[in-house]
Chains A and B, each alone.
Chain A
Amino acid sequence: MSTPTPANGMDRRSFLRTSAVLTTGLAALAASLKPLMEMNDFPTAERFMQKYYKEMTPADMDKVLKRITNEVEKQYGLRPHVRDYKPMDGVQYVYCLNLTRCIGCRKCVHACVAENNQSRNPEIQYIRVLKMEDGSLDIEKAEHDYDPEQVPEKGFFYMPVQCQQCKNPPCVKVCPVHATWQETDGITVVDYDWCIGCRYCEAACPYWARRFNWTKPEIPKERLNPEMSYLGNRPRRQGVMEKCHFCIQRTRQGKYPACLEVCPAGARKFGNILDPNSEVSYILNHKRVFIQLKEEMGTSPRFFYYFDV
């Protein structure tokens, strides 16, 4: 009744037909994997087997820093100086920002990008300057993409917001892999090699302070800052979180953060709150310190806003 079937159960025609479908199917599959060919950031065995930051011995860390140095040199053609700076004893960092003095010029935003090797394209910025009407503090109505000929504008004030280095950080609580934690000097850090990129921390942060590398970060060689630290400004990979870390590579060497150094108005103050003679101790004792931002969240920021008068 039907066409005679050969001994192997398939005639020539149906074999050709099936194999045509199979071949084109395989070709399509192979072609769809083309983006993999463009990938050049496969983890090396070394990076893949790397231990958790807190479990590394100094010898392990040395190896890791060497690996990072070589990777950066290979990628950017510039040999960096990578170190792992540890917190100092008897130091708790506090940042104070004078809202009376800030003129909203955004120099801090870009000094931060330059210091901390953020991606330039797309550009990742840790600091967001909010422009608000005098006499109000409605963050919902704040504007962050203002671009007038001249700042400050009459009738407005400016409030830079960055990681508040909370004493009770919600971002740390939600991290499923403990890739972010608070150090003893109060800085909340991210281990970029341990982060899985789930972005829970970004969702948990009430200050919109965490940034995600959606694409491979791009930094021109001439803009790369070669003074790097493991938990700080070493170049990140695609798919990891990052945020302000009070310029850990500067502050743990005793220097001021980059945003403070560049502020033309002197609105930014930084120091050790445990030192009674520090600028920040003076400010918290003597000035009108007005808020910890979103105080009601119970995050207890180490970032304070204050006024003159």
Chain B
Amino acid sequence: MFSQPKMNSSARTRLVLLALAAVFAGLTILFVFGSSGRPRLQNIPLVDTNFLNTATVRRSYADLVRDKEDLSDFDCYACHEKGKAPPLRFDTNQNIIVAKEHPDIVMGHGSHGRNNNCFNCHNETNLLALQSRDGRPLTFSDSPQLCGSCHGPTYRDWEAGAHGRTSGYWERSLGSINRKQCVNCHNPHSPHFPGRKPAPGPHLLHPPEVATATEPESHH
């Protein structure tokens, strides 16, 4: 009456212990040789260091002069005659025709094409200088005053440091502030701020490429 179930239970114990040993052996193999169970992350390429560049959008003539760089491209009187205002030519729509010797100049200042006269800003008798609306000669490094003669509110903001780029020290007693000029960002002939390719965005947890790349280990 008692012996029969006891024999059965002994056989069952043996079976259970055997199964346990097998499971443990299996687990050992899995732990030692299997993957660690961590998700495989897609490698993120390092960002292009161009995106870390703090340089301004463009370098002005004044910058080139200050840094004592090659100014041969700006030798006006290699072609122009000294003391004589270069002639201006306009098409039938009163748009200025830029001489083919100045291929880099695209006239696009002002949305109505009204600021179409070189000598609104350039000094017609001295091409190495500018002139204000009231005829005062200005050097290229003083160009913000010239811009400010039309763009008053922006000039006011720029003077206060609220418009335009600054760099260096916010605490003036610890170091100097470097204030960039209008022409460091805006091309005076075509002042609209240029667009650009954006830097890479946030890395997604499940980027679309991962779905297409079939790696058996990524399915854990």
Binding site for B on A (CB under 8 A): 1-2, 17-18, 20-21, 24-25, 27-28, 30-32, 34-35, 38, 88, 91, 96, 98, 101, 103-107, 109-111, 113-114, 120-123, 125, 128-129, 144-152, 215, 220, 223, 251, 253-256, 260-266, 269-272, 278-279, 282-283, 286-287, 308
Q: Please measure, in the bound complex, the distance between the C-alpha atom of A32 and the C-alpha atom of B44, giving whole angstroms.
A: 30
Q: Please measure, in the bound complex, the distance between the C-alpha atom of A113 and the C-alpha atom of B43, giving whole angstroms.
A: 17
Q: Please measure, in the bound complex, the distance between the C-alpha atom of A260 and the C-alpha atom of B161, giving whole angstroms.
A: 13
9 more A-B residue pairs beyond the given contacts A101-B163, A122-B44, A145-B204, with a C-beta to C-beta distance below 8 A: A31-B31, A34-B32, A107-B51, A147-B201, A150-B196, A254-B173, A255-B174, A262-B54, A265-B185
Binding site for A on B (CB under 8 A): 2-3, 6, 14, 17-18, 20-21, 24-25, 27-28, 30-32, 36, 38, 41, 43-44, 46-47, 51-54, 56-57, 154, 157, 160-171, 173-175, 180, 185, 193, 195-204
Please tell me if the beta carbons of B3 and A1 are within 8 angstroms of each other in the complex: yes
Q: Please measure, in the bound complex, the distance between the C-alpha atom of A238 and the C-alpha atom of B132, giving whole angstroms.
A: 60
Task: Report whether over half of chain B's contact residues are helix, strand or loop; otherwise say mixed.
Answer: loop
Q: Please measure, in the bound complex, the distance between the C-alpha atom of A304 and the C-alpha atom of B90, giving whole angstroms.
A: 47
Please tell me if the beta carbons of B160 and A151 are within 8 angstroms of each other in the complex: no
Q: Which of B2, B28, B164, B168 has the most CB of A within 10 A?
A: B28
Interfacial chain A residues near B27, Cβ < 8 Å: 28, 31-32
Interfacial chain B residues near A278, Cβ < 8 Å: 161, 170
Interfacial chain B residues near A264, Cβ < 8 Å: 56-57, 165, 185, 196
Q: How far is the CB of B195 from chain A (nearest CB, A)?
A: 4
Q: Please measure, in the bound complex, the distance between the C-alpha atom of A1 and the C-alpha atom of B46, giving whole angstroms.
A: 76
Known: A278-B170, A283-B162. A262 touches B199 (CB 8 A): no
Please tell me if the beta carbons of B46 and A120 are within 8 angstroms of each other in the complex: yes
Please tell me if the beta carbons of B162 and A287 are within 8 angstroms of each other in the complex: yes
Interfacial chain B residues near A145, Cβ < 8 Å: 201-202, 204
Known: A28-B31, A31-B27. A103 touches B171 (CB 8 A): no
Please tell me if the beta carbons of A256 and B166 are within 8 angstroms of each other in the complex: yes
Q: Please measure, in the bound complex, the distance between the C-alpha atom of A32 and the C-alpha atom of B32, giving whole angstroms.
A: 8
Please tell me if the beta carbons of A266 and B196 are within 8 angstroms of each other in the complex: no
Please tell me if the beta carbons of A254 and B175 are within 8 angstroms of each other in the complex: yes
Known: A113-B47, A123-B203, A282-B162. A105 touches B180 (CB 8 A): no
Please tell me if the beta carbons of A256 and B168 are within 8 angstroms of each other in the complex: yes
How many residue pairs link A and B with beta carbons under 8 A? The number is: 180
Q: How far is the CB of B202 from chain A (nearest CB, A)?
A: 6
Please tell me if the beta carbons of B198 and A266 are within 8 angstroms of each other in the complex: no
Interfacial chain A residues near B43, Cβ < 8 Å: 121
Q: Which of A91, A110, A283 has the most CB of B within 10 A?
A: A110
Interfacial chain A residues near B154, Cβ < 8 Å: 308
- Closest B residue by C-beta to A265: B193
Please tell me if the beta carbons of A279 and B28 are within 8 angstroms of each other in the complex: no
Please tell me if the beta carbons of B51 and A151 are within 8 angstroms of each other in the complex: no
Q: Please measure, in the bound complex, the distance between the C-alpha atom of A269 and the C-alpha atom of B157, giving whole angstroms.
A: 12
- Closest A residue by C-beta to B50: A107
Q: Please measure, in the bound complex, the distance between the C-alpha atom of A66 and the C-alpha atom of B20, giving whole angstroms.
A: 52
Contact among B18, B20, B157 for A25, CB-based, below 8 A: B20
Contact among A28, A110, A146, A266 for B52, CB-based, below 8 A: A110
Please tell me if the beta carbons of B51 and A256 are within 8 angstroms of each other in the complex: no
Contact among B32, B162, B203 for A286, CB-based, below 8 A: B162
